[in-house]
Amino acid sequence: MEDVLRPIYQERASQSRTLGILMVERGSDYSPETDLFDVILFVIVREGEEAVFIKHYVFGEKSASLYVVDEHRVKEWVLLGSNRKVMNWLLNGKILNP
């Protein structure tokens, strides 16, 4: 699945405002961690146009969700602990772009 998503995250990685990209893969048949998507791409950006931008992709029988989140929103979620799912992604996600 990473090969299919590579063009998507490489496009985001080439943008100067991208700070980092994480990938979270679904571990079991039902995983609330990934909202039933096979893969989550979590992109942290500097000064995003929107605080949170979400886009969904379907490749055959596989599905992916792209989250583009402003760094200030991520800091707020970490500080307040208000988004447990994102905290899990930050702790367990695979870093694709440092």
pLDDT (0 to 100) of residue 97: 67
Write out the CATH class of domain 2-97.
alpha beta
pLDDT (0 to 100) of residue 26: 87
**In angstroms, how far is CA 63 from the centroid of its own chain?**
13
Per-residue pLDDT of the chain (98 residues; tens, 9 = 90+): 778 888 888 998 899 999 999 999 987 777 777 888 999 999 999 987 889 999 999 999 999 999 999 999 999 999 999 999 999 999 989 999 65
pLDDT (0 to 100) of residue 6: 87
Residue 61 DSSP label? T
**In angstroms, how far is CA 92 from the centroid of its own chain?**
12
pLDDT (0 to 100) of residue 68: 96
